Amino acid sequence: MMGVWQTVKRWRSKLTGKDEWPKINEDWAVGDLAECITEDPWYQGAPGPKKGDVNRVVGVFPGHCKRDETPGWGLKFSKWPGAFAATSFRKITPRADEAQRCEEEFLRLLRPEHVDRGVA
């Protein structure tokens, strides 16, 4: 029985004449948040995210575009059937919220170099 990666390698070679898959547009991993950045309709009117929608990634894998058979990377989301081209999304990187930043500043101010030693 042929494994998944052997199948991918076989199709990749067949489609491109090369054994290399194109580089992925982001460092995608399961659990990442992906914001849709395309306004183009999905293949054959399939349901999918709209521009600005944010979805959690549940799968990242090599594949090929249904429109023109070019190799690329796909993202799978629990909310939508099928997979979507990774180049249609941008990765949302986590940021500390206001409370987190305030707590860090408070702890910084408690360090000995910031404490007024003249107060009894």
Cβ atoms 21, 61 nearer than 8 A: no
Going by C-alpha positions, the residue among 86, 3, 23, 95 that lies closest to residue 49 is 86
pLDDT tens digits for 90-105? 999 876 666 666 777 7
In a domain, 111, yes or no: no
pTM: 0.59
Q: Which residues pair with 75 in a beta bridge?
A: 60, 84
- Give the chain's domain count: 1
In a domain, 37, yes or no: yes
pLDDT tens digits for 61-100? 887 777 777 778 889 999 988 889 898 999 998 766 666 6
Q: What is the DSSP letter of 68?
A: T
Task: Tell me the CATH number at 63.
Answer: 2.30.30
* Domain interval for residue 64: 21-94
- CB-facing half-sphere around the CA of 102: CA atoms within 13 A: 3
In a domain, 14, yes or no: no
In a domain, 113, yes or no: no
In a domain, 88, yes or no: yes
